[in-house]
Amino acid sequence: MKIIVILILLMLFVIYFNWSTLNPFIPDNPNVPNVVLSNNDRILIMAPHPDDESIATGGLIQNAIDKGIPVHVVFLTNGDFNVWSYTLYEKIPMLTSSQALELGEIRRQEALNAIKELGLSEKDATFLGYPDYGTSEILYYHWGNNPPYQSILTRKTEVPYSKALSPGAPYKGESIMKDIEAVINDFGPTKIFVSHPDDHHPDHRAMFVFTIVSLWEIRKEVEIYPYVVHYRNWPLPLGYHPNYFLDPPSYDYGIVWKELPIKSRNVQTKFSALKKHVTQYEANKKYLNSFIRTNEVYGNFEDISLGITQVDISLNKNQIQKSPPQEFNDSQKDAFVRIEAQSVKIENDKLVLRYAISEPFKERIDLFVYVYGYKRDTDFSKMPKINIKVDLNNYGVYDQKTPIPKENCEVKKTPTEIIIKIPLKIIGNPDKILFSARTAMGPLSLDLMPWRIGIIDTDGQ
């Protein structure tokens, strides 16, 4: 009998040892608070593309359904830009605009198949139909009297999908906000799960801004839970590890992450739903499988109170984040310039932004800074959308694409530091600002800083 007990204990030890060794990404006591859903909640999920709902919230959707909580999913785009996935799926290259639109229809149906797998129905989804890989350009440059954006692949300048919320709506910022506001007002969410302000995909970053400003415009107080899908060298390890814990991207400070544990059976249902996105799954299986974990993570930056005290809003990037992306070619890696530090304050009725970069400015390298003001009594579409471009020898200041006298803004530059002073009246004397920055080489973004929200406190001066 003693021998049997000893053998059983030995087997349990071996099992535990192997489990802990093979699953190093499951912490013993993860110090991450949980997302708490109540029976009175109404969950709205803002997905930039079909598949983001399964990747980031497949477990959340099932958890909510188990509790009898209403869930609605909004898709910003139909995902009609992914040439590679279409080529693999159809076994022919994408050469025409009609093929891009065909992909948009295919991905819409894939999204419906996926949410049905998760327990929702077609009535629980709204498709807006805006241009895949074009919504950030709309955010930057297409408001008011400016012409609508034209999609690179579909060649359309308005929503082309008959089953979208607003077919024929021009590709402009106010169109997107009108649709988002309509969904929020109709559904009445208590919690919104939306793409993250530091996600590295331009559509994901844009959707965060459009959603936040839409909430401001309609005066809605809703809990916001941003999720990350695209982030450099994350998640780790890549591949299918359904028993691993999903660690959030590394931030040393500035953001509080929360997690939603997922039941084992729901993990497998999430996996099944993700595979319903056939065009995407076959093209990027290893990466997508990396989100089949025992939890999902959500987190946001706190708003910044802007006064005369300088606020350091740098990210302490780990060594992996400091290196160029692996997909860069040698020329791009050589040109890689990251933003090492940033700070912000209000000084003499001016917004003062400071950026430190890792390498001295060189030819073909630009720093772009985006500053958008929000004022409670002014339609956001009519507020200035300030873009500042700094290069080796010069700088330019624009409201969307319209140049404004650059003398209105002061730019001081050393080889590795840029200080920008923007009069608040140029931004529209706002109550709040949204701002971001990136380094770039031509159309290629090298390093990105998240969209941050600043609350203007001029009384503190």
Per-residue pLDDT, 9: 47
Structure tokens at 147: 């012409």
Q: What is the mean pLDDT of each run of 10 residues along the chain (461 residues)?
A: 47 40 41 90 98 98 98 98 90 92 97 98 98 97 97 97 98 98 98 96 98 96 96 92 91 78 97 98 95 96 86 66 63 72 92 91 87 96 96 92 90 92 96 94 87 79 44
Q: Where are the alpha helices (DSSP H) in 235-390?
A: 264-275, 278-283, 285-289, 319-322, 330-335
Q: How many residues does the structure list for the chain?
A: 461
- Domains along the chain with CATH numbers: 43-301 (3.40.50.10320), 304-460 (2.60.40.10)
Q: Which amino acid is at 323?
A: S
> Which DSSP string corresponds to 179-193?
HHHHHHHHH--SEEE
User: Distance between CA 386 and CA 261 in Å, rounded?
Assistant: 41
List 299's β-bridge partners, or say none: 257
Structure tokens at 108: 């819409």
Per-residue pLDDT, 458: 52
**Helix orientation angle between 97-118 and 83-90, rounded to the nearest 10 degrees:** 80
> Which DSSP string corresponds to 203-262?
HHHHHHHHHHHHHHHTT---EEEEE-S-BTTBSSS-S--TTS--PPPP-SSSEEEEEEE-
Per-residue pLDDT, 5: 42
Per-residue pLDDT, 8: 44
Task: Record the pTM.
Answer: 0.90
Contacting residues for 209 by C-beta, under 8 A, at least 6 apart = 139, 197, 372, 434, 451
